Amino acid sequence: MSRVIFLTDHRQAPAQVPAPAHLPMPGEPLLDTRGRPLRDLRISVTDRCNFRCTYCMPRAVFDRNHEFLPHRDLLTFEEIAAAARVFVAMGVRKIRLTGGEPLLRRNIETLVALLAELRTPEGRKPELTLTTNGSLLARKAGVLKAAGLDRVTVSMDALDPAVFARMSDSDFDVARVLEGIEAAAAAGLAPVKVNMVVRKGVNDDQILPMARHFRGSGHVLRFIEYMDVGSTNGWNMTEVVPSADVVARVAKAWPLRAVQDEEMGRVAARWAYADGAGEIGVISSVTQAFCGGCTRARLSPEGRLFLCLFATQGHDLRELIRGGADEAGLMRALAGIWQGRGDNYSEHRAQAGPDLTAAGGHKIEMSYIGG
């Protein structure tokens, strides 16, 4: 029997896109209710993945009977590029392609090439990046760079093969992920960022081996607190390893110094090795909420716009795009949506604790909207 997981509750979706308070002039920031500008756009190009990471796509839910989005429902590359052009005109300076696993989307380099043609009102190319599990990266790194991609981030949760297999719930060889990282660096997609989700009692024994491996490599290892994204991963606060503990463990082995970075929108706190062997980052959404500086919007594979990773509903841009809305109409829609944004889930979680997660309803899944 097929099992359907509701990625978002369309019954709760706004009936219409709110009207903008005003349309910013070219180059003027588009601000939400908390004064946060729109600067970053994450585009999920598919809800499919070839891994079943326990914190993202647990196999008990995303099994062979799971119904993924049909291809006809996905935004075409041309539709994505048309939407992205409006986002860039309204202030976006960084675009990240994600998923699911974005390299599973056939001819993804074609989309990269379309996005690489975009220019900001100042005439600059927005930074173009991609997050991947690395399984297809060795094969695709060269064509992605040639198409205009600037950089990649690789999700890799362990160096030990057995722990990697347990975290990814796959039989994929971690050595091939490492090959993909090196291929990306060789192709010029550097510095490569490596994201490790840390889960207490599952892979936290990999913190030091991962740090040791990537020290001096030119790659940037980032440790991410296990988050309550979606409604299917069985999140429990007791399995969260606070970033402060991670930094303390690494610093005990190799002294660190804090790197000051005040740019709004930066989610990772940076720590440099005192001996000059590079740096690490920590992303602390659970213990140190950074909602106040969040400048991200997220576009789902079938064109729904979400304003928070922990959202329960989104706005349907595909209906506007396929309904014939012109660029000016999309700009008005985006301005109205963003100007009404007040999302700050992680701050609420910090105040309410796990009770907020239990009462929060069906949040969108990370495999659907990207991390």
Alpha carbon distance 337, 328 (integer Å): 14
Give the DSSP letter of residue 3.
B
Q: What is the DSSP code (8-state) at residue 31?
A: B
- Which residues lie below 8 Å from residue 334, measured CB to CB, with a gap of 6+? 30, 38, 86, 87, 90, 305
Helices (H), 188-290: 207-214, 243-253
Tell me whether residue 222 is annotated as binding.
Answer: no
How far apart, in whole angstroms, are the C-alpha atoms of residue 36 and residue 309?
A: 16
Q: Which two tokens stand for residue 178?
A: 């490492």
Which amino acid appears at position 351 of this protein? Answer: Q
* Tokens 């740090």, residue located: 211
Query: Does the annotation flag 217 for ligand binding?
Result: no
Is 193 a known ligand-binding residue? yes
- Has 42 been labeled as part of a binding site? yes
Are residues 174 and 166 in contact, defined by beta-carbon separation less than 8 angstroms?
no
Any binding-site annotation on 96? yes
Pairing of strands 279-283, 220-225: parallel
Q: Which two tokens stand for residue 324?
A: 């014939």
Yes or no: say if 96 and 43 are a contact pair by the CB < 8 Å rule: yes
Q: Is 52 annotated as a binding residue?
A: no
227 annotated to a ligand binding site: yes
155 is in an annotated binding site: yes
Pairwise CA distance, residues 258 & 249, whole Å: 15
100 marked as part of a ligand binding site: yes
The Cα–Cα gap between 69 and 66 comes to 10
The reply, when asked if residue 53 is annotated as ligand binding, is: yes
Consult the annotation and say whether 297 binds a ligand: yes
Helix (H) or strand (E) holding 127: strand 127-132
Measure the CA–CA gap between 132 and 112, rounded to whole angstroms: 14
Q: What is the dihedral sign for C-alpha 203, 218, 45, 94?
A: positive
According to the annotation, is 308 in a ligand binding site? yes
Which of 340, 296, 299 is CA-nearest to residue 316? 299
Is 304 annotated to bind a ligand? Reply is no
Binding site per annotation, positions for S-adenosyl-L-methionine:
55, 100, 155, 227
Binding site per annotation, positions for [4Fe-4S] cluster:
49, 53, 56, 291, 294, 308
Binding site per annotation, positions for GTP:
42, 96, 131, 193, 296-298
Binding site per annotation, positions:
42, 49, 53, 55-56, 96, 100, 131, 155, 193, 227, 291, 294, 296-298, 308
